[in-house]
Amino acid sequence: MTEPTLTDLLDEANWLEFRARIPAPAQVTDLVTTDQTRAEFVTGCRLLRLDKRKRIDSDQMGPTPIQLMIADMLNGGRFMNAVLEPRRTTKTTSIEAVILGRCTHREDYQVGWTLATLGSKASERFRKDIVVHLERAYPDRSSRPFKVNVGKGTEHIAWPNGSFLNVYAPSGDGFRSGGFDFAWVDEGGEADPDLSEDLTIAVLPTMDTKPGAQFVVSGTAAKYRGGNLLWDTLYGEGAGVIQHAIPDNTDPEELEAWEPDADHPKARVRKLIEMHHPGVGFTSTLENVKRNFDKFPREKFLAEYLGVFGSEGSNIGLIAPGQWERSTVGGEPPAPPKRFTLAIAIHPDGLWASCAAAWRYDETPDDLVAAALALDGMAPAAIPRVGVGLLWHQNGVQGFANRVLAFARKHKTPIIYDQLSQSVGVEVETLSRAIPRPTLTPATTSDVRRGATKTLKLLDDDTLRHWRTPALDRAAEIAVKRPIGTAGGFGFGRPKGDYAADITPIEAVSLALQFLDDTQDQAKVDVVFG
């Protein structure tokens, strides 16, 4: 496939065609390209000598499609902006091309740039990423259309039109006395909460008097979420974003191996890379990515190459509030049909206990939709749904086993439980001594992980339905991502610093969902939800 030259990219049709040659982003805001923005980007590419540098083991040169897309997202003009892309997608180079082009073509354009790592790293990147190419593009210092200063602590580029690119150590100090049109924090995923706060407080006021100013954070996924500069910007209201990453609720079994095999039949990391890594074929090869998959710790690979944020110290809820609210149904829950499941969950210290049910049912369109279809001579079609609800919820565990036993006997259904939970094990021992003994179904660690994943997928698909229940609503609001295993697996966990938090309702619901398709049909019964 022929690639366009830099001159070709000045034409909008060529630009758009080349930009479309990569996988679609997981999320991206408005993409804007104009004659001016394309000219600025091409100028930046020439200053960085992208048309003279081979990208991988081939004769390919020039910018890549993802670089065009990043530029167009930034040209959307939003104030806060986040760029989350895998390693080897040249995201840093694309932003460098944008700012160099803007500084060249716009008067008095002020840029501040830092890395959220070490001060020496910002200086090193400035020299290796930018200065070395500017000097090769203009070997004669006296004829350069800009001045470069590489003095330690004073690194900058100055243009005759009054524009400046300043490089700062990773703190807010360098930014505080300036006024910036473009403030950029690279490797934003490395910023700890203190640095994230310091940079935000220092930078934002410097842009108050700059119409069209932009604050940009770029990087790969971090070990934690809340309080991380990249995560907070990526999911901040109104931010411009571009993100290539797998969904947060990807089944962990898909991440266990590069290709499916006898031990990992659902594994498909290679396929996921092809679907979500915009640098493959342009700046990296599948072989190189596979090599790193084999060498990296799994969590590190998932963060660096598939955009999976960790959940270390996280207080960010795993379930999106909007999705949970959308899945809420008014009124009383219906009686479950013949096929339903019953699962229990207990706080590790026995502070809370829940028993939940999951079932399949058909949802009938509401009266207005049905009436509109009737006018068109159409019969309203039932919509397949999955319902969940609490059968019982209590503080402590006193009497809990008897309540669960009563439900199981009345409904002639097995009791599903996490076999690795010690607090659950005590109650299960009591249940196992009952005569007649109820059917007890132990859930494995894999079931716990898959139950959480299934809950999120059903919410994503708008298939899950629940009825307004304060304990369940609160658990869904506060439950965070709890890492399980080493292949990106997770379950529901308690927020950092709140060990007494009650998430047993959503834990019980997720186990009931996991076993829903394994349950034999039972006689239809009336269930009263607690």
> What is the mean pLDDT of the segment spanning 93-112?
96
Q: Could you tell me the pLDDT band of residue 381, with boundaries at 50, 70 and 90?
A: low
| pLDDT greater than 80 at residue 224 | no
> What is the mean pLDDT of the segment spanning 214-226?
87
> What is the mean pLDDT of the segment spanning 292-316?
84
Residue 254 is encoded by which pair of tokens? 């898909």
d(Cα 83, Cα 98) in Å, to the nearest integer?
Answer: 13
Q: Could you tell me the pLDDT band of residue 64, with boundaries at 50, 70 and 90?
A: very high
- Which of 421, 447, 490 lies closest to 341 in space, CA to CA? 447
| pLDDT greater than 70 at residue 504 | yes
| pLDDT greater than 50 at residue 519 | no
Instruction: Please state whether beta strands 156-158 and 164-167 pair in parallel, antiparallel, or not at all (unpaired).
Output: antiparallel
| pLDDT greater than 90 at residue 522 | no
Q: In b/e form, how buried is each residue of 125-141, taking b as 16+ CB within 10 angstroms?
A: bbeeebbebbeeeeeee
> What is the mean pLDDT of the segment spanning 482-492?
79
Stronger pLDDT, 366 or 245, i.e. the higher one = 245
Q: What is the 3-state secondary structure (H, E, C) of 20-57?
A: CCCCCCCEECCCCCCHHHHHHHHHHHHHCCCCCCECCC
**Helices 504-514, 470-478: inter-axial angle, 10-degree rounding:** 90
Predicted pLDDT of residue 245: 94
Predicted pLDDT of residue 273: 95
Residue 192 is encoded by which pair of tokens? 């700890």
Q: Partners of 357 in the beta sheet?
A: 342, 389
Q: Could you tell me the pLDDT band of residue 525, with boundaries at 50, 70 and 90?
A: very low
Q: Please state, for a pLDDT cut of 70, what percent of the chain lies above it.
A: 91
| pLDDT greater than 60 at residue 370 | no
d(Cα 419, Cα 405) in Å, to the nearest integer?
Answer: 17
Q: Could you tell me the pLDDT band of residue 528, with boundaries at 50, 70 and 90?
A: very low
| pLDDT greater than 50 at residue 196 | yes
Tell me the average pLDDT of the chain.
88
Predicted pLDDT of residue 313: 58
Q: Partners of 354 in the beta sheet?
A: 345, 393
Q: Could you tell me the pLDDT band of residue 524, with boundaries at 50, 70 and 90?
A: very low
Predicted pLDDT of residue 53: 83
pLDDT tens readout for residues 129-164: 999 999 999 999 888 999 999 888 788 999 999 999
pLDDT tens readout for residues 278-301: 999 898 999 999 999 999 988 889
| pLDDT greater than 60 at residue 529 | no
Give the DSSP H or E segment for 510.
Answer: helix 504-514
Highest mean pLDDT among 35-49, 54-68, 306-320: 35-49
Predicted pLDDT of residue 526: 46
Distances (CA, A) of 55 to 70, 218, 284: 18, 21, 8
Predicted pLDDT of residue 336: 59
